[in-house]
Structures are given as structure tokens and as C-alpha cells.
Amino acid sequence: MTTPRKSIHGQWSGRMAFILAATGSAVGLGNIWKFPYIAGEHGGGTFVLVYLFCIALIGVPIMIAEVMLGRRGQQSPVNTMEYLASEEKRNESWVLLGWLGIVAGFLILSYYSVIAGWALSYVFRTGSGMFLGATADGVNSIFNNLVSDPEHLLAWHTIFMVMTMVVVARGVKNGLEKAVTFLMPMLFGLLLLIVGYAMTTGHFQEGFDFMFIPGKIDGNAILIAMGHAFFTLSLGMGAIMVYGSYLPKSTSITQAAFAIAIADTTVALLAGLAIFPIVFANGLEPDKGPGLIFQTLPIAFGHMEGGTLIGVSFFVLLVFAAWTSAISLIEPAVAWLVENRNMSRIYASVWIGVLTWLLGLGSVFSFNIWKDNTWSLPYLFKDANFFDTLDYLTANIMLPLGGLFIAIFAAWLMRESSSREELATWPLIYRGWHFLTRYVTPVAVLIVFLSAIGVIKL
């Protein structure tokens, strides 16, 4: 039995606070913006079934492993991996796994904040009645005018980063916990409100059937479902590991991980049930890709009764989802500065926030003054701008590698006595987790990684 350790940053007040915080990290633009459109692009029902299967076999085992490592180390991801490598008598280079998570989170937030700024601006655009009676061309013009204006994008990017810095600067209990305790119930409430409206459109059954009745699916769609199941839970970017470091020893990691996965998946499914009936009711197409949220739904909001209120509620929901994810992305780097540079949380939050904001300028300009500045990397991508490059490197390379190495360390290099002590669950559940994390999850994540870089195709 090891000597109990405690994070210098404080702890969650209990199991529910951790579940809300980790769910807030997991629930983001990927659930409400990305999941509906990739489900729409890849056949609906069958894609959803594959996605749910992958959540259980890939997402949950890695989440359990990442939370376990975090609680065992009780520090930022870098210092956690340094401590665990020493404790397990493994090579000290495992500290690079911690750095990989921190850097990935930093890079993701730099462009995530820009997209969140779009949602923030749409709250006010929708509220002002800008979409009332708008045609498809009109909505496209509004969107294009937004992203082609670097000053407006910069303003919204700045506002969102300040919102994120303020929460993180207040600490674990007074900042992170209070924020998610308010934002997550509000997020679920707003989502249920919009689903309730979708049920009145006369096309709810059509949306339900589209989401849950199986159809055809190809190998590429399976890979996309596998990848999204992994990414939607915020794995491999240090956020879940650092949140796990604030988890009290009395809380069951396995129970919490299942609760987070269920909540995260529920939000994604509810988002689909909210969006597709509105899309079908307005004679629009469900497979419009990334533009489904910013270029398709506003057309529906502009022509439906009460559309302004529903539209504002939807984009507020999107902002809340982005906000809860953003605070988890910045937290690992802030925690490291507090631990290693003797900074106050306020100073560390400002430091990381400003650096993230500066890097985000590259993504802001990628949609306007730098949009023609592209480059290529052999076998990886071609004609990618700054934004595309960061998105590709993080989503397709850094996060899968992070998840793969987390699984390897937790299931192959960590002593069973250590992981059994930390998980403290029923023997059958432990053996099931250990088997999946050792053999199934690493292979699945490796397949996702190799397909993302074009080495294999199904």
C-alpha cells in the first residue's frame, strides 16, 4: 500500500463534481457540432451503433486508465508521469507522455477558441434577428463575412479566451468546480429544451429513424466512428489526467468513467435528435458536413415560429459546451507552471492564456488574410493552411499517440498491484478492463492512427 498523496491544487468536493467536470471536458463542439454532421454524412443509424460500440471498447478503457494515472500521480501530467515512471521503475522518458498531452491541449485550445468564437458571435447574430427570413445564400454570406473579417474573429477569439482564463485562475473548487456545476445542468437543460421543440416539428420520428435505424456503412465510416469515439471523451490531451489528479481516493474510478461516457454519449445523441428533425422539417439535407451548424441550421431558425429564441438557445448551448472543454484544455499547462515555476494560479492562467491567444492568431488569419498560405507534408497532408495543420497534427497524430501510450503504460508497464489498488473494483471488472486496455484498445487506436495518416484503408 502506498503512502496517500494529495494534489497541491486541491480536490473535487466529491464524485459528482468530478463527473460534471470530466463530462464538461468531454462534451464540447465534437458532440454538438461534429457528431451530428458526421452521423449525417455516414448513414445515420449504423454509424451510431458502431460509435456506441467503440465508446465501450475504446473510449471507456482508456478513460479509466488516464484517470487512474492522474489520481496515482496527483500532479500535472508531466510531473505525474515522472513520478509514476520512478515508482514503477520505468524509463524516465515516459515524462514525454505528459508533455505530449500538455502540448496537444495547448494547440487544440488555440484553434478551438476561434471556432467557439464563431458560436459566441452567432448568439448575438441570431438574437438580433439577422437570420429571419434569410435564404441559403444570405446565411452563407453572413458566415463568409464573419470568417473573412480578421478583426471580428480576433475580437470573439479574445473574449472566449478571457472567459476561459477567468475560470481557471480561480482554482479547482472556486473556479473549475463552480463553473461546471452551473454550466453542465444548464447545458443539459438547453439541449432538452431544443429536443422538446424538435418533437413539435412533425418530423421527430423521421429524425429518430435516421439516427437509430441501421443502414449501409463502409470501412471508412467505421474508422471515423472509431476515431470520434476516442476523441469525443477528451482522451490523450492531459485534461482527463489532470482532472483525475484532483479526484478523492474514496471515489470509484470505474463507476465515474462509465457515468462520464454515458453522459457524453447522451449529449451527442440528444444533439442529433435536436438537430435532424429541424433539418428535415425545413426540407434541408442532413449530410451537409461542417456547415450543418453554422450554414444550414440558421436557415431553419430563420423560418420557424419562435426560431430566434430556439436559435439563441442553441448557440448558447454550443458556447457552454465549448467553454467547459476549454477550461480543461488549459488546466494541465497551468497546473505545471504552478508546480514547477512557483507561480500563482492567476499569473499562470494569464501566461498560458496569452500564449494560447497568440497562437490562435494563426487560426484567425487562416480564414482570411492567410487562407492562401498553404503547405504540404509528404504522406500526411497537402495544401493545408495553419488551422488545418494544427487540426490534423493534434486530432490525427498527437491524440491517438497519447491514448496509445496511456494504454501501454497503464496495462503493460504499471504493476498490477498498483492498478488494482488504484481502481479498487470487482475482480471481474478489473480483469475485463485490463484485457481490453492491453489487447483490444491499443490495436484499435493504432488502426485509427494508421488510417488517419493514410497507411491503411478499409
Separation CA 134–CA 303 (nearest Å): 8
Domain presence at residue 435: yes
Residues of the chain with pLDDT under 70: 1-5, 287-291, 379-380, 457-458
Q: Over the range 235-266, which residues count as b (16 or more CB within 10 Å of their CB) and which as e?
A: bbbbbbbbbbbbbeeebebbebbbbbbebbbe
Phi, psi for 199 (deg, rounded to 5) = -70, -15
CB atoms within 10 A of CB 376: 11
Separation CA 458–CA 447 (nearest Å): 10
Angle, to 10 degrees, between the axis of helix 253-281 and the axis of helix 178-198? 40
Domain presence at residue 110: yes
- By DSSP bridging, strand 375-377 and strand 381-384 are antiparallel
Cell of 299: 436557415
Separation CA 66–CA 445 (nearest Å): 15
Domain presence at residue 79: yes
pLDDT tens per residue across span 66-79: 999 999 999 999 99
Strand, coil or helix: what is 368?
A: coil
DSSP at 300: H
What does the pLDDT read at residue 289? 59
Question: Which amino acid, 441?
Answer: T
Q: Over the range 91-128, which residues count as b (16 or more CB within 10 Å of their CB) and which as e?
A: eeebbebbebbbbbbbbbbbbbbbbbbbbbbbbebbee
What does the pLDDT read at residue 4? 54
Element (H, E) at 384: strand 381-384
Q: Is residue 410 a contact partner of residue 65, using CB atoms and an 8 Å limit? A: yes
Element (H, E) at 381: strand 381-384
Tell the residue number behind the cell numbers 490531451, with chain if given. 237
Separation CA 263–CA 55 (nearest Å): 12
Q: Is residue 399 a contact partner of residue 104, using CB atoms and an 8 Å limit? A: yes
| Dihedral of alpha carbons 9, 25, 310, 308, sign | positive
Domain span including residue 53: 15-452
Per the structure, the count of domains in the chain is 1
Cell of 291: 456547415
Q: Which of 214, 267, 301 is nearest to 36 (CA)?
A: 267
Q: Which of 33, 75, 23 is nearest to 181 (CA)?
A: 23
- What CATH number should be reported for the domain holding residue 129? 1.10.4160
Domain presence at residue 10: no
Domain presence at residue 438: yes
Question: Which amino acid, 250?
Answer: S
Q: Is residue 161 a contact partner of residue 351, using CB atoms and an 8 Å limit? A: no
Q: Please give the span between the terminal C-alpha atoms of the chain, in angstroms, as a whole number.
A: 46
Domain presence at residue 3: no
What does the pLDDT read at residue 64? 97
Separation CA 356–CA 110 (nearest Å): 5
Separation CA 212–CA 276 (nearest Å): 12
Domain presence at residue 9: no
- How wide is the angle at C-alpha 238 spanned by C-alphas 68 and 348, nearest 5°? 120
Q: Is residue 332 a contact partner of residue 102, using CB atoms and an 8 Å limit? A: yes
What does the pLDDT read at residue 22? 92
What does the pLDDT read at residue 1? 47
Strand partners, 384: 375
**CA distance to 82, 90, 244, 245, per residue, from 70 (Å):** 12, 17, 5, 4
Q: Is residue 272 a contact partner of residue 36, using CB atoms and an 8 Å limit? A: yes
Domain presence at residue 316: yes
Phi, psi for 384 (deg, rounded to 5) = -105, 135
